[in-house]
Amino acid sequence: MQQRRVIDNYNREGAAYDNIRYGRTRGGNFFSEVELANTLAMMVPGNVLHVGTATGRVSHYLISKGIDYVGIEISHVMAKITKTNLNGIGDIVRGDAEYLPFRNGAFDNVVCVRSFHFLPHPMQFLSQVYNILKPEGRAILSFEKRIPGRHMFEQLRFLPSPGLGRNYYLNSEVFRLVEGAGFEPIFRGNVTRLPLLIYWRLNHDSILRKIHNKIPRWLGTVGVVVGQKSMVRVSTIEFKNRREKPAYCYL
Residue 250 near residue 91 (C-beta atoms within 8 A): yes
Pairing of strands 107-113, 48-51: parallel
Distance from the Cα of residue 106 to its chain's centroid: 19
Residues facing residue 85 across a β-bridge: none
Sheet hosting strand 222-229, strand order edge to edge: 183-190, 222-229, 133-144, 107-113, 48-51, 69-73, 91-94, 249-250
Q: Determine the longest span between alpha carbons in the chain, in angstroms.
A: 52
Residues 128-173 have pLDDT tens digits of 999 999 999 999 999 999 877 555 444 444 444 445 567 899 999 9
Pairing of strands 133-144, 69-73: unpaired
Q: 117 in helix, strand or coil?
A: helix
Q: Print pLDDT tens along the chain (251 aa).
A: 556 666 665 566 556 655 556 556 788 889 999 999 999 999 999 999 999 998 899 999 999 999 999 999 998 888 999 999 898 899 999 999 999 999 999 999 999 999 999 899 999 999 999 999 999 999 999 999 987 755 544 444 444 444 556 789 999 999 999 999 999 999 999 998 998 888 888 888 899 999 999 999 888 999 999 999 987 665 444 434 334 443 334 34
Report the chain's C-alpha Rg in angstroms.
Answer: 18
Q: How far apart are CA 125 and CA 10, in angstroms?
A: 20
Instruction: Give pTM, 2 decimals.
Output: 0.82
Say whether domain 2-235+246-250 belongs to CATH 3.90.1150.10: no
Predicted pLDDT at 67: 97
Check residue 245 and report its DSSP letter: P
Domain locations in the chain as residue ranges = 2-235+246-250
Predicted pLDDT at 242: 39
Residues facing residue 138 across a β-bridge: 109, 228
Q: How far apart are CA 88 and CA 98, in angstroms?
A: 26
